[in-house]
Amino acid sequence: MRYWLKQRYSMSKRDYIIRLRHMLDHAHEIVRITSGKTLADLDTDRLLDLALLHLITIIGEAASRIPADERNKYSEIQWAQISGMRNHIVHEYDVVDYDILWETVTEDIPRLISALEKIIPPDNAT
């Protein structure tokens, strides 16, 4: 198994916008891959299952890397719950509640998209 590692660097004041965009891009991907799907599909579609877990994990990791002062500006986003779900998936991978996962992708992700779209500046504004 190969691991590709990027060198760590100090995050500049505006680099958190990149993390917000990562969150938004992956949230949009969740909406795209769940279109027309149901909770029952998670029982039979292993790739859907794995994709959702991976995308939620990335969203949670990106959320945890947003500086606290920036998170405090956007209290409508449930930062702790997003990071907490990531932690649960990573550390308690064998006890994932798929009802909660499905509720997250169908109810919480669209709200997250809406909130992120309000705070992320257009591409040419950064």
Residues with a catalytic annotation lie at: 86
What are the residues whose beta carbons fall under 8 Å from the beta carbon of 117, sequence distance 6 or more? 24
User: How far, in Å, CA of 30 to CA of 92, rounded?
Assistant: 21
User: How far, in Å, CA of 102 to CA of 93, rounded?
Assistant: 15
